[in-house]
Every structure is written in C-alpha cells, then in structure tokens.
Amino acid sequence: MQTPQNDNAVHQLFQSDPTVLDGSPTFLGTQVAVQKLFDYLAYGRSLLEFLRDYPGVTLEQVMGAIESREIAFQ
C-alpha cells in the first residue's frame, strides 16, 4: 500500500478542484471531501462505516488521509 510520504503520493490520493466543493480537498476520483472522513471519526463513527457509506473511496485513500493529518501535527 502506498502512503503519502511525499507530494507525488498525496496527489495520487487526493485532489483539489475549484469547481468541486469550492476547492476543498477530495478523495481522488470522487466528490467526497476529505474533511467528511474526519467528521465521521469525530462523531464516533468507524472507518468501516465511512467506507461503506462512500464506496468510491478506497482504504488506501482513507489511510493516506489519516497519515497526512498525523504528519501535519508533528
């Protein structure tokens, strides 16, 4: 599984398009905001629930988002 340890890997997992959700980062190939994942977790919902509710998002993308956020807070 590839993780976003460099900019190239991040660009393969996420996108930002000003015409989609006002440019908010989304999971690549979807219109699902990355923030939606963190909202799920903040409300006590599981990763499995998120993946089930948004089948276009992959586990690799979810793990990349979590790892990217952890790196940002170090």
Report pTM: 0.78
Length of the chain: 74
The phi, psi pair for 7, rounded to 5°, reads -60, -35
pLDDT at site 52: 98
The pair of structure tokens assigned to 66 is 């979590």
pLDDT band at 68 (very low <50, low <70, confident <90, very high): confident
CATH topology of domain 7-72: Arc Repressor Mutant, subunit A (1.10.10)
Q: Chain-centre distance of CA 70, in angstroms?
A: 13
pLDDT at site 11: 58
Domain borders along the chain are 7-72
pLDDT band at 12 (very low <50, low <70, confident <90, very high): confident
The phi, psi pair for 32, rounded to 5°, reads -95, 120
Give yes or no for a contact between 61 and 4, defined as CB atoms under 8 angstroms apart.
Answer: no
14-65 pLDDT per residue, tens: 999 999 999 999 999 999 999 999 999 999 999 999 999 999 999 999 999 9
